[in-house]
Amino acid sequence: MTDIPANDATNDAEARTRTREAALIRKRYRAERRFRMYGLAAILAALGMLTVLLVSIVSAGLPAFTTTQIALDLNFDAGDIDPGGSRDPAKLASANYRGALLKSLRAEFPGSETRQGRRDALNMISNNVPFVMRDMVLADPFIIGTTQRVWVKSSADIDQLAKGSIDRTLPESDRRVDNRQLAWFEKLEREERIRTVFNSTFFTTADSREPEQAGILGAVIGSALTLIITLLLSFPVGVMAAVYLEEFAPKNRWTDLIEVNINNLAAVPSIVFGLLGLAVFLNFFGLPRSAPVVGGMVLALMTLPTIIIASRAALKAVPPSIREAALGMGASRLQTVTHHVLPLAMPGILTGTIIGMAQALGETAPLLMIGMVAFIVDVPGGFTDPATVLPVQIFLWADAPERAFVERTSAAIMVLLTFLIMMNLFAVLLRKKFERRW
């Protein structure tokens, strides 16, 4: 450590110094390890939260992909359905199927003669069974007067019971299924007249008040219609704005203003865009409420900054030598951009656009403002039909008190996340494939 010749005294002092130094070093390394641990702990905490989120959603949502059916002997009683015996389709369509169903239920469920018993029996099955019966009769009028064994959808409560979400040992008053229904259910179970099947209803219908009949098709179509409008508006405008700002705009106050503006718009809360849509599109221009076209316009304004920023970055990454080469050949500036620069920047622009679209797909708040939050049971057929979108559907279901809707909310989230993951994966692949190093 030192070259100075030493006597005993200095040796002693030196030894003390050394111990002190070693202690200090140990302390410093402990601090180092501690600090490093904090960093790792932070990352693990974030990952842990992500895991908890995904696990709780998936575990809550998985049961929604199956549904419970009950095999019922349905009596297509001629007296209820076709008292005149005319077999007239118009009369058949509006016949008393409920009456026929009640007769069948009386036969199936002993003890359902009383008022309370009848209600219990009806609550075993989904309330769409009369419509199922009607459709069967219309398809084949010869079944009138016969008894058919049909697998019908159970009610949501029975579905929960079958999936084990309802505790059978609870006292009757705390249970959504009373003792009589439980007894019926257990009897059916013994007779193997309960089965669990894939819940195709969830993917083929729109919203419903009855959880077992509610599906996401309406919301998915609504999202698709809305996103089409968003894409059609924001992509061309975004790319054009980026091309102007990056390739043509002179550096002056005006373009500075536009730039600051775009950066700020990217950080404006989404709900403010909803207020803009409400005040301008609905109240000023009088466009229809709840329509995908308005939703698409609002989301387009929201997505525009994302696309512009991503497109500018992609354009900036094209080396100037390519522009110079084209200009040197006698191409005009516009030709240079459209023939050479834009095609080279396109993968980057598309990546940014997909990411913007993914954001738009997950957006909820601005759409609440323009009335896309209505309860809509029809699958929208056009851009001006009332519609809702997937995230809003999630929001609506999350508010519903029935346990069965918790399941469906989580399942809808899984569908939404699947779409988002696919879009992002596509963006990543696109970037990987066309990644270029000049």
Interacting positions 389-418 with other proteins (CB under 8 A): 391-392, 394-395, 398-399, 406, 409-410, 413, 416-417
- Taking a C-beta distance cutoff of 8 angstroms, is the pair 304, 282 a contact? no
Rounded least distance, CB 90 to other proteins, Å = 23
Residue of 131, 141, 139, 142 lying closest to 100 (CA atoms)? 131
Distances (CA, A) of 433 to 40, 313, 355, 437: 32, 18, 16, 12
Residue 300 tokens read as 């387009």
Q: Examine residue 236 and tell whether it contacts other proteins (CB under 8 A).
A: yes
Q: Examine residue 232 and tell whether it contacts other proteins (CB under 8 A).
A: no
Residue 173 tokens read as 């008053």
Q: Which is nearer to other proteins, 171 or 286 (CB)?
A: 286
Q: Which is nearer to other proteins, 322 or 368 (CB)?
A: 368
Rounded least distance, CB 204 to other proteins, Å = 23
Pick out residues in 310-369 that bind other proteins (CB under 8 A): 332, 334, 358, 361-365, 368-369
Residue 137 tokens read as 């009769």
Cα 407 from Cα 391, distance rounded (Å): 15
Cα 144 from Cα 81, distance rounded (Å): 7
Q: Which is nearer to other proteins, 47 or 183 (CB)?
A: 47
Q: Which is nearer to other proteins, 189 or 256 (CB)?
A: 256
Rounded least distance, CB 178 to other proteins, Å = 26
Q: List the x/- string, 61-100, binding to other proteins by CB under 8 A.
A: ----------------------------------------
- Taking a C-beta distance cutoff of 8 angstroms, is the pair 104, 73 a contact? yes
- Taking a C-beta distance cutoff of 8 angstroms, is the pair 337, 346 a contact? no
The CA angle 369-371-373, to the nearest 5 degrees, is 100
Rounded least distance, CB 81 to other proteins, Å = 30
Q: Which is nearer to other proteins, 284 or 438 (CB)?
A: 284
Rounded least distance, CB 310 to other proteins, Å = 14
Q: Which is nearer to other proteins, 136 or 249 (CB)?
A: 249
Rounded least distance, CB 101 to other proteins, Å = 30
- Could you give the angle at which helices 129-139 and 97-108 cross, rounded to 10 degrees? 110
Rounded least distance, CB 249 to other proteins, Å = 7
Q: Which residues contact 307 (CB under 8 A, 6 or more apart)?
A: 234, 235, 238, 239, 242, 349, 352, 353, 356
Q: Which is nearer to other proteins, 133 or 361 (CB)?
A: 361
DSSP state of 340: I
Rounded least distance, CB 295 to other proteins, Å = 14
Q: Which is nearer to other proteins, 212 or 407 (CB)?
A: 407
Q: Is 207 exposed, middle or buried (0-12, 13-18, 19+ CB in 10 A)?
A: buried
Pick out residues in 7-36 that bind other proteins (CB under 8 A): 13-14, 17, 20-21, 24-25, 28-29, 31-32, 34-36
Pick out residues in 244-303 that bind other proteins (CB under 8 A): 244-245, 248-249, 257-258, 260-265, 267-273, 275-276, 278-280, 283-286, 301
Rounded least distance, CB 105 to other proteins, Å = 34
Pick out residues in 31-60 that bind other proteins (CB under 8 A): 31-32, 34-36, 38-43, 45-47, 49-50, 52-53, 56-57, 60
Rounded least distance, CB 319 to other proteins, Å = 19
- Taking a C-beta distance cutoff of 8 angstroms, is the pair 265, 312 a contact? no
Residue 374 tokens read as 């209505």
Q: Which is nearer to other proteins, 29 or 198 (CB)?
A: 29
Rounded least distance, CB 291 to other proteins, Å = 13
Q: Examine residue 373 and tell whether it contacts other proteins (CB under 8 A).
A: yes
Number of chain residues interacting with other proteins (CB under 8 A): 98
Q: Examine residue 309 and tell whether it contacts other proteins (CB under 8 A).
A: no
Cα 431 from Cα 257, distance rounded (Å): 31
Where is 104: in which H helix or E strand? helix 97-108
Residue 430 tokens read as 């696109």
Q: Which is nearer to other proteins, 41 or 170 (CB)?
A: 41
Pick out residues in 97-156 that bind other proteins (CB under 8 A): none
Cα 108 from Cα 70, distance rounded (Å): 11
Cα 275 from Cα 260, distance rounded (Å): 22
Hey, CA dihedral for 5, 9, 12, 18, is it positive or negative?
negative
Q: Which is nearer to other proteins, 180 or 312 (CB)?
A: 312
DSSP string computed for 202-221: HHH----SSGGG--SHHHHH
